[in-house]
Structure 1
């Protein structure tokens, strides 16, 4: 059963008609890019761009189709808000109960993503769909809890290794099912996530919940400008782009060697990375730039050029010292030092207020989509964990890996090919 084509990733529709959208690669490090906050200087957040600044009056009108060859919310341009919730199945929940839950989510997501509000949606009445997407992925534990699915577990669904410096809280990672809800409006994202939670209440309970944000459309004069993270660095220069020849093979799982239910799908690695902002902000701008290997104002590599100029790792100053330090983040995470490894990052900042010690509990929700995490995220993060200068200023506190099934056809429900294959 093949899924019909969704509105192409380069285009989007609105209640006023069809507009054009182009992707801008936004990561690859340009700051805390790439894997840094998790892995690879190759992946980064996507920027939603048009021919000029997006008028505020149109932000809520954007729609992203729910049905398509792959799930929405993966290769689509990044929205301003994210709500992440991982669920654990209730004891003795089997295939039938999981099917009912996923059928319910499918019906609900179809309606919500097109802005089909009803009286039950009082918090968002009068709002537009705001580019709402609902993306579902499965954790490795699901295949242990539902015996009928054990032989459908992908070979790449193995636990991530423990990386040097990890300080992981198991209660805030992993989970049987992950739901990523993204939208250009925080209220729309939060409402959709809550409604999905209510639909799942008989079969599953929330294991953990995180929410994040990026710069909203219309608040910057250049809608194509790269986002900044909470460290003040441009974050998203070298992300793989949809017009790259190998983009699809990098991000989406192709046929061969994997169960058919994940063909057209992708693997997601989630890392919650707290930034030690108080310590970071004690550094001067020059010291911060040496840690990253890029200028803070323009995002240009310290070897010269502009934001998207490729770093010259051999360049030296008059004193003979490398302009980009051997342990600079941009060097450690760059594809050239990681056998060309790339991944598609759609990360979000988070700020949960002060911790008990008074330090800010804020940082990055690192979200990296890729066809093969064992040869993508893992080797890059292993290198970063051993020698990245940025390690002194971040803490990896939660982690998870999930397999997102392929897209949903008009007559299918989420995960149908897994549950009925």
Structure 2
């Protein structure tokens, strides 16, 4: 069935006459300025408009969002390198336009599916990355950053290659599922002529107004606070951890970041068989407050040399926070931005649930890889999880101003 134009949609909705609005009539999406909710209310927080333009893609440092979809694409074969470059350039231009429009809470100028009409921006973010395989296919192997070298195989990995890697990555997140899928579907439709979808995964977080406070740390499906040690967006420590600096190489990645994706299944039945104290020993933190077992509050620095009255370390040697700490990993730090997933049960009856784990950093070889090599071999938590999918992508720098497009420095520098 041919797609109905936006003009026809509005003409149709107007045909109900002045007497009322028909069920299902199409209404324009509300902008953030149209909301009547007071600033700081749960609705205004959940429905905020996040700016698209800037030095960095906004989806990296955005507040926690309720829904997240991560999709990977591969270029269709059978074209010359010159044709592929042209097609990818056009695709990224169009993706940029779609992202800017939907993040602003506006309907798309043509072929809008009306999925999100009547809704605000929903804190939508769209974040685009490229894999090393894309650069190879575009004849840009000499432009592949050293930081984009393949991740090593870690002890205990059970990686499904069909659900891993890819030429292009698209992370769409929002506080409203329809708002997110509206943007995602528009970008998938636009990509269909140039790419095939390699895999897609989705998860959920905690929307603004639901958490105990706007700055509260999220919890994962193990009931643990997840991200206590994260660098804080807007700080120098965050920028130094996450973004490629203005002097970084290659120059097309300046202002960008590297994202490691891991689908980490949690063995929840095994985990739930532990009592609360046993779980706290595995993590190294109080389960409710998040305070390290050495004492204090959630954000008190752990004291890894503190002993109890019997001479035992309060934070055990194999605890997760000890093994993941920058102090024991040559200063390696990452910015965690996970979503949880729960997809029912597997064939053996165990939950298919865990983390859509996303880690952003300036260089994975000096961040995620160092940490994960240690965790895989020494972290007690590894007994209760399985890494089942993986990916590494160069998340492109942001668009500084209107008229720019994602990936311009890469594709117009050749």
The TM-score normalised by the length of structure 2 is 0.87
Matching of residues 82-161 of structure 1 within 5 Å: 82-93=68-79, 94-117=84-107, 120-147=112-139, 149-161=140-152
* Matching residue of 2:305: 314
Instruction: Output aligned runs, 1:14-413, within 5 Å.
Output: 14-15=32-33, 54-59=40-45, 61-93=47-79, 94-117=84-107, 120-147=112-139, 149-408=140-399, 409-413=401-405
CA distance in 2, matches of 1:58, 1:244: 25
* Aligned Cα root-mean-square deviation (Å): 1.9
Write the deviation string for residues 341-390 of structure 1: whole angstroms up to 9, x where unpaired: 11111111011111111111110011111111111111111000111000
Change (3 A) 1:68 1:92: farther
Is the 1:84–1:181 Cα contact (8 Å) retained in structure 2? yes
Q: Distance in 2 between matches of 1:176 and 1:158?
A: 14
Is the Cα–Cα contact under 8 Å of residues 60 and 128 in structure 1 kept in the other structure? no
- Structure 2 unmatched runs, 5+: 1-30
- Residues 353, 361 of structure 1: 8 Å contact kept: yes
Q: Which has the higher contact order (CA 8 A, sep 6+)?
A: 1
Is the 2:32–2:105 contact (alpha carbons within 8 Å) kept by the matching residues of 1? Answer: no
Q: Distance in 2 between matches of 1:243 and 1:103?
A: 28
SS at match of 1:324: coil
Q: Distance in 1 between matches of 2:46 and 2:296?
A: 37
Per the alignment, do residues 115 and 76 of structure 1 end up closer, same or farther by CA in structure 2, a change over 3 Å counting?
same
Given that 1:292 and 1:329 are in contact with CA atoms closer than 8 Å, whether structure 2 keeps it comes out as yes
Partner of 2:23: none
CA gap 1:58/1:245 in 2 versus in 1, 3 angstroms: closer
Query: What is the deviation of 1:59?
Result: 4.2
Task: Spell out, residue by residue over 1:98-119, the C-alpha distance to the aligned partner (whole angstroms, 9 max, x if none).
Answer: 1111111111111111011257
Rg larger for = 2
Q: In the TM superposition, what is the alpha-carbon distance from 1:60 to its structure 2 partner?
A: 5.0
CA distance in 1, matches of 2:367, 2:408: 27
The CA deviation at 1:243 is 4.8
**Quick check: 1:63–1:130 contact (8 Å CA) kept in 2?**
yes
Return closer, same or farther for 1:269/1:16 CA change in 2, 3 Å cut-off: same
Q: Distance in 1 between matches of 2:52 and 2:90?
A: 19
Residue deviations 1:280-332, cap 9 Å, x none?
00100011011001111111111111111111111111111111110000100
* Unmatched runs of 5 consecutive residues or more in structure 1: 1-12, 20-49
User: For 1:56-102, what per-residue CA distance to the aligned partner results, in whole angstroms no more than 9, with x for missing partners?
Assistant: 43245311111111111012222221110000000034101111111
Per-residue CA deviations over 1:203-228 (Å, capped at 9, x if unaligned) read: 00110101111122222443332211
Asked if structure 2 preserves the Cα contact closer than 8 Å seen for 1:15 and 1:61, the reply is no
1:143-170 CA-to-partner distances (Å, cap 9, x unmatched) read: 22121x2222112211000000000000
Whole-angstrom CA distance in 2 between matches of 1:207 and 1:176: 9
Q: Which segment drifts farther, 216-225 or 100-109?
A: 216-225
Q: Post-superposition shift, 1:413?
A: 1.4
Aligned residue for 2:151, secondary structure, equals coil
Report the more deviating stretch, 216-225 or 382-391.
216-225
Q: Is the 8 A contact 1:86 1:175 kept in 2?
A: yes
Aligned to 2:16: none
Query: What is the distance in 2 between the residues matched to 1:242 and 1:225?
Result: 14
Which residue of structure 2 aligns with residue 39 of structure 1?
Answer: none
